[in-house]
Structure 1
Amino acid sequence: MPSHLSADHPPAQPPGRGSVDALISQARRLKGDVDAVRRDAQDDGSDPRGRWERALCDLALHQLNDLDEHLAQLRDGPPPVAVYAGAEALAPAAPGGRPHGEPLGRVGSAEWNLLTDEATWSGELYQLLGRDPAAPPLTLDELPSLVLDADRPRLTAMVTDCLVDAKPIDGEFRVVRPDGTLRTVHMMGEPVLGADGGTDAMWAVLRDVSELRRSQRTERETRDSLQHHRHRAQTEHRLAVEFQEAVLPPWRGSARPPHRGHPGLDLAAHYLPASTSTLIGGDWYDALELSDGDTLLSVGDLTGHGPTVTSEMAMLLGALRGMAMAGTGPGRLMALLNQLLDATAQPALGSAVCCRYRPATRTLVWAQAGHPAPLLFRDGTGRVLDAPDGVLLGATSSAVYGQAEETLKAGDLLLLHTDGLGPRRAGPATVRRLLGLAPRLGGARTAQDCVRTVVEEFGENEREDDACVLVARIA
């Protein structure tokens, strides 16, 4: 507050009461709007973004509360202060019923007269520092006794710069109140110069910024947590993609696999990531020439997303390849995969279809575990192969899986897919859409053209879950 001792500080005229009231009304409306946004911000403690948004709203509310209080003080004008001059001075009540000795407590003022060694504190400062209003105000030499030991050099430096070099004060320190609570105080002040240019006094405004700093710290911590969460998600996504690309065949994208190793088949496949998640799922496809000349065709899906699921998918696919190479039939292979998944440290559920194609007789032997059956397209029409018995992998350790056999013809097209291709709980509708592509698939020249047709039909980026499509044309 301007000193009566300073000829350089003419008394300021307060702004018009009406204009300040209008600002107070605007500030309070804005507080209500921010508080509404804060209530709408969901924060169940598990979402870093939700915690960060809530922290920002809390910080904005603290700042608006300060603005409201400061404008109210500006409107009401400076209250009478308690001056210690050897006797207790009691402040009268302010208009509206709030005693000046019982102020808002967030902002207080003080003046130290170096000529008379008198100190003047406002009632707000007593409340801010938790001191008895009947006690004498502390001198500049006594003030550091309230300050935390680690912050005393900072306060001393600020006061020395002000008194010796006439520098303005602008800094923070922590005070320990008589009840043991710790508060952060922001102090702004100026020297009051005498006629000879020397410092006669110092005045200061002290503000309790503890809650503001707490909100800023919370916002900073939640922002850092959100950034860490995003970085972790990006890292997990990158690892899962690299893992998946290392496990799935090198022709996992839009390229066709080499004919060598898949006699009598024109193969193509495509992996379609989910558009609603940045995490990779557990979908796979595979085509592998076996030691006896047969070809293994499979697609499958493990529940969940992320590196853990991707690693389990890799384990399952490796086991599938190894057992198929050893001559295990599709039905028995599904049963062994089920036991393997049931015995893993982190149990999961999965679905799969496994086909063994014998080019010499154009025979397809296959089994399924809770998975959509392969679709067979012939002569411009399509149908679903009759599925043998089979439950989800990992559902029960004693499951038995049947086998089915289908004789194929030259020109037939076999389509395998995972259930993420269409909307959730829309399995029959997805199959009908696929069967409706029969005329276009029948007119396609290559398996890759067929895959491209399926992707165009279902959209490259419009799925709730990952999906795989594998097409085999019989030569």
Structure 2
Amino acid sequence: MTDHLFHTSAPLRRAVRRLARRHRLPAETRARLVLCVTDLAHSAFQAGRPVTLRTAREANAGADSHVLAVTLHFDGAAGPRPPVNLPLPATAPTPDSVTWRLPVPPDKPIDGAGGRHLAPPDADGHWTEMRAVEEELRAAFARTDALIAEHRRLKHELAETNAGVLALYVQLEERDEQLRKAHGQILQELEDALRPQPLTIEGLELAAHYAPADPNAPTGGDHYDWFQLPDGTLHITVVDALGHGVRSTRSALNVTHAVRTLALEGHPLESILARTHEILMPQDPALMATVLMARLNPATGELQIANGSHPPALLLRADGAAGYLDVKGRGVGFPMPGSERVRQEEIRPGDLLVLYTDGLTESRRDPCEGERRLAEAARRHANRPLDEIPAAVVADMHTLVLHSDDTVALTVRRTALPGHRNETPATKNAPGRVKRL
């Protein structure tokens, strides 16, 4: 162990460099050690207090290497607290000293053990100092060059990786688009299979439009069915089953199938809702659905309406007068299900009947405002071809959607039958047709 007392920075730096040279410390480690020692000793020198540099060489137990312990001791007062960002972190700081423990080669120091001097003096001590500084600069430059080269390599690899990721992202987007199209096609085919087949009824025009809450999942609980009874009367059922997705679709289909079966068996309109409830509830106790049923005789224009908790149908007369056909009742799955009465109306040539689900009028969470807006939209588009009216009305009603829900809009317009006394040139050649949009 050797101790040396220093009063200024210059001899301290030279001593540290000679010490590092003697024990074969790498130039980069030597430079860091010189910076640490001189920085920490600076405040003591300014206060006129000396510092002691103490060195000791130790052998690691069980290891073929040695450790050089370099301690900077502050005489007469506590030393400064070593900063966290020292170029060479201290291993054992105390209130009055700082120690660095550095691994060194196991060989003996250059000038042998013992001796007064930290390193053998050269012919020109100044030259030795300058030479050490040059070595440290070279080591710093080499380290900087290595870091720059590594940074360039990493940037190049990152650029290649980004290019690969971008290409993969483009491929995934293309594949995703293909899958979306295929998925949409399958769902469209499924939707087509669920909806009733088009009808051609002389004296009537029919059209329907379905807008799902989620365009990527067109199945839902809003459903409709239409068919002709044996006497030629048109029967329409509009159902809104509670929930979304495939389960609600199944519930709505069960309701429409039960209603169709009962209607074709000849059950009166006022009893079908209650009977549908009796049939389906044992199979699906959680089922809840609102139901509206309409029967229209194309020859006479006689309209019958039964309702179970469903939004009322809208009747727009040919002269522009509009009104809602309210009928009280409770839907399937509700307490005391059934329509309280069957409402009778007459549909004259040119009149427009609009049936729908609550997704059309409650998109802004205000049913009263929705009904008012629906009447205005129906009046605004009444003169368009019938197969365009449902989609146009839905587009108007969904300009601002605060409450997204599945939506069905169905329109029926009566045209004059050939030979009818109310027949007009405009209605004489209008074929009965139905088109689902």
Please list, as runs of the form range in 1=range in 2, the aligned pairs for 1:268-307 lying within 5 A after superposition.
268-274=207-213, 278=217, 280-307=219-246
Please list, as runs of the form range in 1=range in 2, the aligned pairs for 1:209-224 lying within 5 A after superposition.
none
CA deviations 1:373-412 (Å, max 9, x no partner) are: 111111332433442321232122x323232221221221
Aligned equivalent of 1:470, options 407, 410, 416: 410
* Structure exhibiting the larger radius of gyration computed from Cα positions: 2
Give the residue type in structure 2 aligned to 1:384: G
Q: CA deviation at 1:275?
A: 5.4
Partner Cα separation in structure 1 for residue 358 and residue 191 of structure 2: 18
Q: CA deviation at 1:100?
A: 5.0
What corresponds to 2:292 in structure 1?
A: 353
Residues 350 and 7 of structure 1: CA distance in aligned 2, closer, same or farther (over 3 Å): farther
Partner Cα separation in structure 1 for residue 253 and residue 70 of structure 2: 79
CA deviations 1:237-282 (Å, max 9, x no partner) are: 88765543211025xxxxxx452xx232101111112258856321
Residues 357 and 277 of structure 1: CA distance in aligned 2, closer, same or farther (over 3 Å): same
Residues 376 and 111 of structure 1: CA distance in aligned 2, closer, same or farther (over 3 Å): farther
SS at match of 1:393: coil
Partner Cα separation in structure 2 for residue 315 and residue 101 of structure 1: 82
The answer as to whether partners of 2:273 and 2:337 remain within 8 angstroms in 1 is no
Q: CA deviation at 1:315?
A: 2.1
Please list, as runs of the form range in 1=range in 2, the aligned pairs for 1:176-195 lying within 5 A after superposition.
none
Give the residue type in structure 1 aligned to 2:337: A
Please list, as runs of the form range in 1=range in 2, the aligned pairs for 1:83-122 lying within 5 A after superposition.
84-85=60-61, 95=82, 100=91
Partner Cα separation in structure 2 for residue 337 and residue 282 of structure 1: 17
SS at match of 2:396: helix
Q: CA deviation at 1:327?
A: 2.0
TM-score by length of structure 2 reads 0.52
Partner Cα separation in structure 2 for residue 366 and residue 351 of structure 1: 14
What corresponds to 2:339 in structure 1?
A: 401
Residues 84 and 345 of structure 1: CA distance in aligned 2, closer, same or farther (over 3 Å): farther
Partner Cα separation in structure 2 for residue 237 and residue 460 of structure 1: 24
Q: Is structure 2 residue 376 aligned with structure 1 residue 436? A: yes
Give the residue type in structure 1 aligned to 2:404: E
Aligned length: 278
What corresponds to 1:415 in structure 2?
A: 354
What corresponds to 1:54 in structure 2?
A: none
The answer as to whether partners of 1:362 and 1:408 remain within 8 angstroms in 2 is yes
Partner Cα separation in structure 1 for residue 409 and residue 315 of structure 2: 14
Give the residue type in structure 1 aligned to 2:377: L
Aligned equivalent of 1:426, options 356, 366, 372: 366
Partner Cα separation in structure 1 for residue 247 and residue 209 of structure 2: 22
CA deviations 1:449-471 (Å, max 9, x no partner) are: 43243134224895611101111
Partner Cα separation in structure 1 for residue 297 and residue 371 of structure 2: 26
Residues 85 and 450 of structure 1: CA distance in aligned 2, closer, same or farther (over 3 Å): closer
Partner Cα separation in structure 2 for residue 111 and residue 450 of structure 1: 88
Partner Cα separation in structure 1 for residue 243 and residue 216 of structure 2: 11
TM-score by length of structure 1 reads 0.48
The answer as to whether partners of 1:284 and 1:301 remain within 8 angstroms in 2 is yes
The answer as to whether partners of 2:252 and 2:289 remain within 8 angstroms in 1 is no
Partner Cα separation in structure 2 for residue 112 and residue 338 of structure 1: 92
Identity across matched positions, percent: 27
What corresponds to 1:224 in structure 2?
A: none
Give the residue type in structure 2 aligned to 1:246: A
Partner Cα separation in structure 1 for residue 386 and residue 317 of structure 2: 14
Partner Cα separation in structure 2 for residue 91 and residue 9 of structure 1: 15
SS at match of 1:319: helix
The answer as to whether partners of 1:280 and 1:310 remain within 8 angstroms in 2 is yes
Partner Cα separation in structure 1 for residue 59 and residue 284 of structure 2: 74
Aligned equivalent of 2:28, options 11, 28, 32: 11
Partner Cα separation in structure 1 for residue 211 and residue 267 of structure 2: 30
What corresponds to 1:448 in structure 2?
A: 387
Q: CA deviation at 1:10?
A: 4.8
Partner Cα separation in structure 1 for residue 26 and residue 188 of structure 2: 69
The answer as to whether partners of 1:378 and 1:442 remain within 8 angstroms in 2 is no
The answer as to whether partners of 1:352 and 1:369 remain within 8 angstroms in 2 is yes
Give the residue type in structure 1 aligned to 2:295: R
The answer as to whether partners of 1:369 and 1:392 remain within 8 angstroms in 2 is yes
CA RMSD of aligned residues (A): 4.7
Partner Cα separation in structure 1 for residue 381 and residue 202 of structure 2: 21
Residues 247 and 276 of structure 1: CA distance in aligned 2, closer, same or farther (over 3 Å): closer
